[in-house]
């Protein structure tokens, strides 16, 4: 069931801090030899040009860490620059001409492994300022993971479910194929930062086991390929052209991600702080406010006095600021909870704070 909540960002500034490159598009199209159409697009949300030599794409095997995938070369260092507010398109050389003709970087047969994603693997965007080595072990150990599509901690079997889209049924009807292949993933325009490798949060999982995903919680919009009828469904073999898909997505983005001036920075919180809910005691609705000092993924949970998790909401891609979430005293199924004391806990990155609230009837 969808978790409806109201999230209020109380800083009226169209700005974020700590910005860096993030993935704006992921495209996995036709796979009919000799054409294997795959493309990743990165967006520069900062107010300066970015030197791409400090960045690398690294492949991760499903169920294994980044950089470990048989005997293949799993890293490619990027090159060139990307201007402020612009994108860089990176494609496999085996992609359709509709992709390679507009790509800024075309990866050769030797370097294309990080984009040879069958659907259940992962690709990570890493930043390694000052790393001179091209060894994948040095990058995984010392570079910062800015963003990722897919997860190295699990294996969905075919490809990942994202934003409520599960793809067509598999051959025996026991599950669905997912949508990180034969589909287009585009970052929502409200997102101005990468997921730091938290794919569970980024794709919109409703719980820690990711029993399902929702469009409401996801950072991504999922679109079917032009020659397909639904996300995750492979087009007919004769429809190998990616031109129509590229006309739809490549470079057509606007993210309101201007960086703040030093004067505006004074308005941002200095401490991570979960505030006392108001009103308290309450019936039927209370507001839970909190301050965060950096970008990241937040998770607000409410527990009864037996330690049972009765309600939660995941908030991906938040930026520094003041927020407020409304809660109506109901559990995840929408049923009214009994009067009593509850504990609410906010987690973000490595930080966590808890407080108590009182629901009355």
Query: pLDDT digit string (tens) for 286-313?
Result: 889 999 988 888 899 999 999 999 999 8
Residue 18: the pLDDT is: 57
Above pLDDT 90, what percent of the chain? 43
pLDDT, averaged across the chain: 85
pLDDT of residue 248 exceeding 90, the answer is no
Cis peptide before 158 (omega within 30 of 0): no
Residue 96: the pLDDT is: 92
Residue 266: the pLDDT is: 47
CA-based angle 54:204:259, to the nearest 5? 45
pLDDT of residue 261 exceeding 60, the answer is no
Q: What is the mean pLDDT of residues 91-117?
A: 91
Residues of the chain with CATH 2.60.40.4070: 7-12+264-359
Q: Are 289 and 49 in contact (CB under 8 A)?
A: no
Q: What is the mean pLDDT of residues 106-127?
A: 87
Residue 37: the pLDDT is: 92
- C-alpha distances (whole Å) from 61 to each of 102, 165, 204, 229, 236 are 28, 22, 21, 29, 28
Residue 257: the pLDDT is: 66
Q: What share of the chain is helix, strand, coil (3-state, %, to 5)?
A: 10, 35, 55
pTM, to two decimals: 0.70
Question: How many other β-carbons are positioned within 10 Å of the β-carbon of residue 311?
Answer: 21
Q: What is the mean pLDDT of residues 232-261?
A: 75
Q: What is the mean pLDDT of residues 213-222?
A: 91
What letter does residue 328 receive in the DSSP assignment? -
**Burial degree of 190 (CB within 10 A; 0-12, 13-18, 19+):** exposed
Residue 253: the pLDDT is: 73
Residue 102: the pLDDT is: 93
Cα separation, 255 vs 297, in Å, equals 18
**Burial degree of 95 (CB within 10 A; 0-12, 13-18, 19+):** buried
Residue-wise pLDDT tens digits, 147-194: 999 988 777 777 899 999 999 988 777 778 889 999 999 998 878 889
Q: What is the mean pLDDT of residues 128-142?
A: 91
Residue 258: the pLDDT is: 53
Residue 69: the pLDDT is: 61
Residue 9: the pLDDT is: 46
- What is the chain's Cα-based Rg? 21
Residue 25's H or E segment, with its range, is: strand 22-32
318-336 b/e with 16+ CB inside 10 Å = b?
A: bbbbbbbbebbbeebeeee
Higher-confidence residue: 360 or 259?
360
Residue 7: the pLDDT is: 53
Residue 17: the pLDDT is: 42
Tokens standing for residue 269: 């919180």
Cα separation, 358 vs 342, in Å, equals 6
pLDDT of residue 263 exceeding 50, the answer is no
Domain 7-12+264-359 class, CATH top level: mainly beta
CA-based nearest residue to 121, from 72, 181, 61, 162: 61
Above pLDDT 70, what percent of the chain? 89
CA-based nearest residue to 8, from 299, 291, 297: 291
Q: Are 117 and 123 in contact (CB under 8 A)?
A: yes
């Amino acid at each position: 069931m969808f978790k409806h909540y109201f999230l209020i960002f109380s800083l009226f500034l169209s700005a974020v801090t700590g910005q860096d490159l993030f993935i704006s598009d992921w495209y996995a199209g036709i796979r009919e030899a000799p054409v294997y159409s795959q493309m990743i697009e990165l967006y520069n949300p900062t107010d300066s040009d970015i030197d791409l030599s400090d960045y690398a794409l690294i492949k991760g095997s499903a169920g294994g860490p980044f950089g470990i995938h048989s005997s293949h070369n799993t890293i490619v260092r990027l090159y060139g620059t990307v201007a402020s507010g612009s994108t860089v398109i990176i494609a496999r050389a085996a992609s359709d001409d509709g992709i390679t003709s507009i790509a800024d970087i075309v990866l050769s047969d030797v370097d294309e492994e990080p984009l040879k994603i069958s659907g259940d693997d992962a690709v990570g965007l890493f930043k390694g300022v000052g790393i001179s080595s091209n060894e994948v072990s040095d990058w995984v150990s010392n570079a910062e993971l800015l963003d990722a599509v897919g997860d190295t901690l699990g294996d969905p079997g075919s490809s990942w479910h994202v934003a409520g889209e599960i793809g067509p049924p598999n051959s025996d009807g026991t599950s669905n194929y997912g949508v990180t292949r034969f589909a287009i993933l585009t970052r929502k325009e409200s997102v101005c930062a990468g997921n730091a490798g938290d794919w569970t949060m980024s794709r919109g999982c409703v719980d820690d086991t990711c029993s399902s995903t929702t469009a409401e919680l996801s950072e991504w919009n999922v679109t079917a390929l032009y020659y397909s009828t639904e996300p995750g469904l492979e087009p007919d073999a004769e429809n190998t052209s990616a031109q129509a898909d590229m006309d739809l997505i490549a470079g057509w983005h606007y993210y309101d991600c201007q960086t703040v001036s030093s004067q505006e920075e004074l308005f941002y919180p200095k401490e991570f702080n979960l505030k006392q809910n108001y009103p308290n005691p309450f019936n039927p609705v209370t507001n839970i406010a909190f301050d965060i000092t950096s970008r990241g993924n937040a998770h607000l949970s409410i527990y009864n006095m037996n330690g049972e998790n009765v309600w939660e909401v995941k908030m991906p891609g938040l930026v520094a600021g003041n927020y407020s979430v409304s809660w109506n005293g109901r559990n995840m199924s929408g049923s009214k909870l009994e009067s009593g004391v509850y504990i609410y806990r906010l987690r973000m990155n490595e930080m966590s704070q808890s407080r108590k609230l009182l629901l009355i009837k």
